[in-house]
Amino acid sequence: MLVKVKDGKVTGVQGNPDHPFTQGRLCAKTNHYQERVYHPERVLYPMRRKGPKGAGQFERIGWDEALETVSARLRATIARSGPHAILPYSYLGTQGLVNGLTVGDPFFNKLGATVSERTFCDSGACTGYIMTVGPTPGMDPESFQHSRLIILWACNMLSTNAHMWPFVEKAQRNGAKLIVIDPVRTRGAQQADQHIRIRPGTDAALALAMMHVIVNEGLTDADYVEKYTTGFDELQAHVQQYTPEFAAEVTGVDAEVIRVLAREYATVQPSAIRIGVGIERSAGGGQLVRAVTSLPALVGAWRKPGGGILQLPLWAFPINWDGLHRADFIPEGTPVVNQWQLGRALTHDLGLQTPIETLFVYNSNPLVVAPDQARLVEGLSREDLFTVVSEHFVTDTARYADILLPATTQVEQADLMFSWGHFYLTLNQPSVAPIGEAVSNAELFRRLARAMGFDDPFFYRDDEQIMRESMVWDHPALQGISMEGLRATGYARLNLPAPDSYAPHAEGGFPTPSGKVELKASMAAGGNFVLPVFRQGYAGLQDGGPVDALPTFRPRHETGATDAALAASYPLSMMSPKGHAFLNSNYGNMRRQLAHQGPQYVMIHPADAAVRGIAHEDVVTVRNGRGSFKAQARVTEDAMAGVVVAPLGFWVAGSIAGATPAALNPTAFADLGRAPTFSDNLVEVVPG
Ligand SMILES: Nc1nc2c(c(=O)[nH]1)N[C@H]1C(S)=C(S)[C@@H](COP(=O)(O)OP(=O)(O)OC[C@H]3O[C@@H](n4cnc5c(=O)[nH]c(N)nc54)[C@H](O)[C@@H]3O)O[C@H]1N2
Ligand SMILES: Nc1nc2c(c(=O)[nH]1)N[C@H]1C(S)=C(S)[C@@H](COP(=O)(O)OP(=O)(O)OC[C@H]3O[C@@H](n4cnc5c(=O)[nH]c(N)nc54)[C@H](O)[C@@H]3O)O[C@H]1N2
Ligand SMILES: [Mo]
């Protein structure tokens, strides 16, 4: 992103036209970033709560007083109850290596605070993917232009990953078939040659039935399977039970459509699959990703550029995670609280030996993004809980802060950015000085370290030093890339072959224990695990339950087949995927993006609306046993019959009845990586 500055002020932002991936484009969220930077409601000074919790009333204080108050509280908590009574809570408000996911980990690990396990986003999919093909970058997103058949499988690309779209569109223009597998008629589905509507959380049945067809009709690439996979014979026997007819029953996709899909996927090469994160979010989400990730090897799709699967380009970046997390600071026996269970942790429902007394939130807005909203409100309202929040705005969560700290935005801070969406490393250079008394997250933790009297110089590294120590610079992927070079160009493509010739697994070479695609996963023997990256590098297992070695279909937790009584009371499935103009809960308070999204809404199919007497734009209540929220009904065939869609990102403060979809979302985990299950959620919708 290029920033226009006049007289020390940001006047506009634009995409960099020279950038091979973004090609000069920004998205609906960031197009007018200056409006966020200079928003009149931005938090610019440290503040102390002056009204009741949740009221959002604050008074300005100085940084010295803020730091003294916070450090005194941390010390007092440790003295009274020990460090486990402190819980940090953070996620991806900003994503760089300096200020992002890991910025506070060394500080809290040094304190001995409870470890916050961050499995919000892709933990289940990453686990399933890595068990199958290892942490390989997989396909280059740019090489999709060479694909002949593309499946966007639970990926809302035009809204969430828009910069990749031109490469998909180019392939389509060159004759590739574009297939979207999604319960929702997304923007991408509208552009696709085929949209396969599937019931949420049932995709494993589809993928396994595709395998059934592929192996029984002799459509495998036998040579590739023989040389570069393990467990094929067992898989072949295993998938006999997953007939297209079985899958049709479960998924709602016609058996003949499944047969044709399998045949085309196998024979039109190179074929490419892009999976999103929505795919992991039901009871069997992890095994479902295992099944989908197995497909390319069966048909030899990896042989050519434009073939294979893309999960997360993240795996291409040689990041020094150990140096960022500093798990070596974590004292043995430190408890772990999964972020998904914050509501339970704060309301003494997790059986924690040491209840949480001090909560420190930065880079995150749990009241909107975590489930169990009612319990979260109850927990955050506890008079004996002390909450610190570092933010740009008085978010729903920040309203409960005892101390609120001002954070800089991306144009005011330096950072080194890896990517979830492409193979370029980017140096984010500040364009303007911090506004008001805002500080970057990295500076915040330097100040806190000083206030706590830490003497290890590690805590006082400047941004540049953090960048230098955050990557493994002698790794082949960074050959030819340096901080000096980045300062001149802003970004650099990782040292990988050009997209035209990039076929990383044409001859196997998968980073799994066997070096092959593990159709039968050897890592399953270790039981369910959470990758260190999602648990601050902390090694201990929390839930080592058994895991199937072959990809299997598992019904949702919440479906008629699993719980008939529940399904009778709550017959509709609800999903809460990303909003087009929001970035998770970011921009949920901003005029332009709100105008784009419209009022808080829920999409419902005309047939489901009709039987409930619901008309387009009526206000309705969506409810289940966990809670309820009100929204405007959008009666549309974009929603699938039986499935309602309530996008993430609207704020509680601006909501119709003081609640958002998080009030209904379950706290249950998926099968792998302790992923959330918000596509596995039964509800009812009623007028009014
Ligand atoms: N505009 C916008 N862009 C974003 C974000 C945002 O909030 N807004 N968030 C960013 C973040 S943090 C992430 S992780 C990425 C996520 O990017 P995506 O993975 O694209 O995100 P989602 O919208 O969660 O899910 C994608 C699609 O999966 C579908 N889906 C849900 N459950 C199922 C299922 O069981 N089966 C199938 N087949 N489909 C299913 C949904 O209908 C949705 O269309 O986007 C990033 N980009
Ligand atoms: N129902 C439902 N829930 C979901 C999802 C879903 O699809 N549906 N998606 C899940 C996923 S994939 C993700 S990634 C998570 C996202 O969860 P979060 O990362 O918690 O979500 P954001 O809304 O991005 O919240 C980040 C907050 O950080 C603040 N922030 C931004 N930059 C900075 C900074 O530099 N410093 C500080 N201190 N604060 C900053 C923003 O103002 C914002 O309020 O949500 C998860 N929850
Ligand atoms: Mo995410």
pLDDT tier for residue 632 given thresholds of 50, 70 and 90? very high
Ligand 2 touching residue 584 (CB < 6 A): yes
Ligand 2: which of 91, 372, 420 to mutate, most ligand atoms within 8 Å of CB? 91
pLDDT digits (tens, 9 = 90+) for 309-356: 999 999 999 999 999 999 999 999 999 999 999 999 999 999 999 999
Ligand 1 touching residue 587 (CB < 6 A): no
What residue has token string 């036998």?
Answer: 222
Closest C-alpha among 56, 5, 55, 64 to residue 34: 5
Residue 31: predicted pLDDT: 83
pLDDT above 90 coverage of the chain, percent? 87
Average pLDDT over residues 291-296: 98
Residue 156: predicted pLDDT: 95
Residue 541: predicted pLDDT: 56
What residue has token string 């910025």?
Answer: 103
Task: Name 559's Cβ contacts closer than 8 Å, sequence gap at least 6.
Answer: 201, 567, 573, 680, 682
Ligand 3 ion: nearby residues, β-carbon < 5 Å: 121
Instruction: Please tell me the residue having the least CA distance from ligand 1 atom 39.
Output: 154
Instruction: Please tell me the residue having the least CA distance from ligand 2 atom 30.
Output: 93
Residue 540: predicted pLDDT: 58
Q: How far is the CA of 91 from the centre of ligand 3 (A)?
A: 9
Look up residue 258 and give its amino acid.
I
Ligand 2 touching residue 397 (CB < 6 A): no
Residue 655 in this model has a pLDDT that exceeds 80: yes
Q: Where is pLDDT greater, at 458 or 1?
A: 458
Q: Which ligand is nearest to the CA of 98?
A: 2
Instruction: Please tell me the residue having the least CA distance from ligand 1 atom 46.
Output: 160
Q: Which two tokens stand for residue 445?
A: 């933790």
pLDDT digits (tens, 9 = 90+) for 470-521: 999 999 999 999 999 999 999 999 999 999 999 999 999 999 999 999 999 9
Look up residue 467 and give its amino acid.
M
If one counts every other C-beta atom within 10 angstroms of the C-beta of residue 641, the result is 15
Q: How far is the CA of 3 from the centre of ligand 3 (A)?
A: 25
Burial of residue 453 (CB within 10 Å: 0-12, 13-18, 19+) is exposed
Instruction: Please tell me the residue having the least CA distance from ligand 1 atom 26.
Output: 155
pLDDT digits (tens, 9 = 90+) for 133-186: 999 999 999 999 999 999 999 999 999 999 999 999 999 999 999 999 999 999
- With residue 60 as reference, give the H or E element that holds it: strand 58-60
Q: How far is the CA of 407 from the centre of ligand 2 (A)?
A: 14
Ligand 1 touching residue 186 (CB < 6 A): yes
Residue 542: predicted pLDDT: 54
Residue 614 contacts residue 635 (beta carbons within 8 Å): yes
How far is residue 38 from each of residues 34, 35, 336, measured CA to CA in Å?
6, 5, 38
Residue 526 in this model has a pLDDT that exceeds 90: no
Encode 603-669 in three state secondary structure.
Answer: EECHHHHHHCCCCCCCEEEEEECCEEEEEEEEECCCCCCCEEECCCCCCCCCCCCCCCHHHCCCCCC
Q: Which ligand is nearest to the CA of 665?
A: 2
Q: How far is the CA of 577 from the centre of ligand 1 (A)?
A: 5
Which numbered atom of ligand 2 lies nearest the CA of 409? 35
pLDDT digits (tens, 9 = 90+) for 97-130: 999 999 999 999 999 999 999 999 999 999 999 9
Q: How far is the CA of 185 from the centre of ligand 1 (A)?
A: 13
pLDDT digits (tens, 9 = 90+) for 248-273: 999 999 999 999 999 999 999 999 99
Residue 25: predicted pLDDT: 84
If one counts every other C-beta atom within 10 angstroms of the C-beta of residue 587, the result is 25
Q: How far is the CA of 120 from the centre of ligand 3 (A)?
A: 7
Judge if pTM exceeds 0.95.
Answer: yes
Distance CA 473, CA 320 (A): 9
Q: What is the DSSP code string of 231-300?
A: -HHHHHHHGGG--HHHHHHHH---HHHHHHHHHHHHHSSSEEEEE-SGGG-STTHHHHHHHHHHHHHHTT
At residue 93, the 3 state secondary structure works out as: coil
Distance CA 316, CA 371 (A): 31
Q: What's the helix, strand, coil split of the chain in %, to 5?
A: 35, 15, 45
At residue 194, the 3 state secondary structure works out as: strand
Average pLDDT over residues 360-375: 97
Distance CA 265, CA 240 (A): 19
Mean pLDDT, all residues of the chain: 95
Residue 636 in this model has a pLDDT that exceeds 80: yes
CATH architecture assignment, domain 564-687: Beta Barrel (2.40)
Q: What is the DSSP code string of 438-484?
A: -B-HHHHHHHHHHHTT---GGGG--HHHHHHHHB-TTSGGGTT--HH
Q: Which ligand is nearest to the CA of 89?
A: 2
Q: Which ligand is nearest to the CA of 582?
A: 1
Q: Which two tokens stand for residue 392?
A: 């740009």
CATH number of 125-311: 3.40.228.10
Sign, CA torsion 528/534/538/539: positive
Q: How far is the CA of 122 from the centre of ligand 3 (A)?
A: 7
If one counts every other C-beta atom within 10 angstroms of the C-beta of residue 396, the result is 29
Task: Name 239's Cβ contacts closer than 8 Å, sequence gap at least 6.
Answer: 208, 209, 211, 212, 215
Closest C-alpha among 136, 268, 265 to residue 207: 265
pLDDT digits (tens, 9 = 90+) for 381-429: 999 999 999 999 999 999 999 999 999 999 999 999 999 899 999 999 9
Distance CA 138, CA 373 (A): 37
Ligand 2 touching residue 576 (CB < 6 A): yes
pLDDT tier for residue 620 given thresholds of 50, 70 and 90? very high
Would you kindly state where each structural domain of the chain is located, as residue ranges?
39-121+324-492, 125-311, 564-687
Ligand 1 touching residue 201 (CB < 6 A): yes
CATH architecture assignment, domain 39-121+324-492: 3-Layer(aba) Sandwich (3.40)
How far is residue 214 from each of residues 220, 221, 259, measured CA to CA in Å?
6, 10, 9
Q: How far is the CA of 647 from the centre of ligand 1 (A)?
A: 10
pLDDT tier for residue 544 given thresholds of 50, 70 and 90? low
Residue 545 in this model has a pLDDT that exceeds 80: no
pLDDT tier for residue 528 given thresholds of 50, 70 and 90? confident
Q: Which ligand is nearest to the CA of 396?
A: 2
pLDDT tier for residue 622 given thresholds of 50, 70 and 90? very high
pLDDT digits (tens, 9 = 90+) for 30-79: 888 888 999 999 999 999 999 999 999 999 999 999 999 999 999 999 99
